[in-house]
Structures are given as structure tokens and as C-alpha cells.
Structure 1
Amino acid sequence: MNLSLGVKVLIFVICFLFSVIVGIAAALINHKPTAPKGPAFLYGGGVFGGSLTLCLVVLTSLGVL
């Protein structure tokens, strides 16, 4: 596909925000009320990084980015 730079940036921002939501949900699921919050933040950050990487790899392999 031959998309303009603005459309590619918009697609990247959508992938970024989707990954943020997935990371927050994973951190909330992982957190236990009696445990400290640090491990949940690290887990959510890892899930965010994995989700963003997966989104970008799929879109690159499809030829969108």
C-alpha cells in the first residue's frame, strides 16, 4: 500500500494507544491487593512492549507501515 505519512502516523498512534490499554488491563489483572504495586507495573510494561511489537510486526508484514 502507498499510504501517506500522516495516515501511517495515525495508524502508529492507534497501535500505541491499543497497547497502552492492553498493558493497563494486564497490570490490573496481575495486581493483588496485598502485594506491592511494583511488580504489576513491570508486568504491565512488559505486556505493553510485547503488544506494541506484535502490532507493528503484523502491520509491517501486511505492508501497511
Structure 2
Amino acid sequence: MSPRNVKILWVLVAALASLVVALVAGILFSSTGVTIAEAVLYGGGVFGGSLVVSLAVLGAVGVLH
């Protein structure tokens, strides 16, 4: 497997992990009584933040260089 394919797989893993984190955050936030739209927006924000942190960690470790 080429190094480019490995990098793509690591980015995909980071995106899927961020999706799971966002889903859990959205579900937990919706249990506080907010509307579905607010919970989706909150989950989207958590997804973006989680993906940025995940990619920063992968870059710091040297996986994405």
C-alpha cells in the first residue's frame, strides 16, 4: 500500500471518529430539551472541532507528513 493511501485512510479514520463524537454530543445535547435543529448545529460544531484536533494530532505524530 502506498504512503498516499495510508494517509487517506488515516484521514478517513479521523473523520469517522469525529462523526461518532459529534453524534454522541448531539444526542446528549438534545436530551437537555433543546430543539432538533439546535442539537444538529451543536453536533456539527463538535464534528468540526473534533476533526481539527484529530488532524492536528495526526500531523504532530508525523502520520500526515
TM-score, structure 1 as length reference? 0.89
1:9–1:40 CA distance, 2 compared to 1 (3 A): same
Spell out, residue by residue over 1:2-28, the C-alpha distance to the aligned partner (whole angstroms, 9 max, x if none). x70000000000000000000000000
Q: Which residue of 1 aligns with 2:47?
A: 48
Q: Unaligned stretches of 5+ in structure 2?
A: none
Q: Which residue of 1 aligns with 2:25?
A: 26
Q: Which residue of 2 aligns with 1:13?
A: 12
TM-score, structure 2 as length reference? 0.89
Segment drifting more, 25-34 vs 46-55? 25-34
Q: Unaligned stretches of 5+ in structure 1?
A: none
How many equivalent pairs are there? 63
How far residue 36 of structure 1 moved from its aligned partner, in angstroms, is: 1.8
Identity %: 40
